[in-house]
Homo-oligomer: A and B are copies of this chain.
Amino acid sequence: MKERTLGILGGGQLAQMLALAAIPLNVRVVVLEPDAQAPARLCAEHLAAPYTDPVGLNELAACEAVTLEFENVPVEALDALHGRVPVRPGAELLARSKHRAREKQALREAEADTAPFIVIESAPELQGALKQVGGRGILKTSELGYDGKGQARVSSDFELGQAWEALGGVPCVLEGFVNFEREVSLAVARTPDGRVAFGPLVENVHRDGILRTSIYPANVPAGTEEKAREMARAVAEHWGLEGLMTLEFFQLPSGPAGEGRLLVNEVAPRVHNSGHLTQDGGGVSQFEAQVRAVLGLPLTDWQPLHPCAMVNYVGVDGAEPEWEGIDALEGTRVHLYHKAHRHGRKLGHVNLVAPDAETLRQRLEQLEKLIP
């Protein structure tokens, strides 16, 4: 089988893990990433230059296809690649998913359910906004927010005004507060010729706005996964996805009216932290799925063979995970990113597998104690 080449915009841990998954498929990875110490340097040809560097972009243009590990790719970079190499997902989809207001509107157009929201671009639009979304909400900047940054909870008009000022008065989306039961996510991949495949439905627990733990299978009412797939397929097809996309959902409380009802919270046009557990659950990982989808290779659903979980290792000043205990705990697999320690920085994750859900629960309880 001939060697293929895949370009990636960005060289962080997602690019690193994409490259680790690409190599066994005879795919050579080229990464454009300004940080000389970026994690992907270890397993990809690293072009250490700005995303808009013409020489670096020429190298990417010589690849069979280009994908990305973050959505905030400069428009200039996409423009420079346009017509020379397929970028997957494409520029239009990226423009949406890096802009919260456009994303929400495009989700509505794809008939995916979301929480009530209002776009706020100027001070007068604050007037009465909170009432319209139900009296309580979360104000989020339209652009550049991630991991809980660039957002604030508000429950009065006064708080809303203050929050908007604190966020710099930039364009925002005010989302109605959702009293959800749990957060789940699901990835969908679509090849350039329109084949669609799905990842597992995963349950997510956040801490301080950052993903802490993901669990498969998700503890959800019957039929939830089917609904998530339906919505993911609708969005993927409506948006013309080429590549892989991860949808985060709120699952609403069960009840006569709301059995397994899902609202799309966010969309990431790429592999996602909540899919890391697919690396060790058996079978294809989300990283292999993105590589396959982007290059148009054969692709099937990538469902883990076992119950599995993931706990993030986020830098905490003065505390370190108990590595010996983690290694000694049955079913753990350590994934470290070769990044310098910094408080609040994602430095790695630990995957966990078990033969059944109850054993997974017990092991996860142990694992959580070993990671501060």
Contacts and interface: CB of A to CB of B under 8 A. Distances in A.
Contact of A327 (B20, B282, B298, B323): B298
A328 B298 contact: yes
Interface stretch (A23-31, A65-73, A87-95, A184-192): A23-31
A42 B24 CA distance: 10
B338 A3 contact: yes
Interface in A326-360: 327-328, 330-331, 333-338, 348, 353, 355
B23 A338 contact: yes
Interface string A113-137: 0000000000000000000000000
A334 B25 contact: yes
B334 A24 contact: yes
Contacts of A365: none
Given A28-B338, A282-B306, A306-B282, A42 B23 contact: yes
Contacts of A19: 43
A25 B305 contact: no
Contact of A305 (B300, B323, B353): B353
Interface string A19-57: 110011110100000000000001100000000000000
A336 B20 contact: no
Contact of A282 (B24, B305, B338): B305
A191 to B, nearest CB: 12
A109 interface: no
A222 to B, nearest CB: 23
Contacts of A355: 305
A128 B300 CA distance: 62
A330 B301 CA distance: 11
A165 interface: no
Nearest to A355: B305
A156 B283 CA distance: 51
A97 to B, nearest CB: 28
A208 interface: no
Contact of A336 (B26, B280, B334): B26
Contacts of A336: 1, 24-26
A286 interface: no
A306 B353 CA distance: 13
B24 A335 contact: yes
A59 B334 CA distance: 27
A319 to B, nearest CB: 13
28 contacts: A1-B348, A16-B23, A20-B23, A20-B24, A23-B42, A23-B43, A23-B338, A24-B335, A24-B336, A25-B334, A26-B336, A26-B337, A26-B338, A28-B42, A42-B43, A43-B43, A282-B305, A282-B306, A282-B353, A283-B331, A283-B333, A283-B353, A284-B333, A298-B323, A298-B324, A298-B328, A300-B330, A305-B353
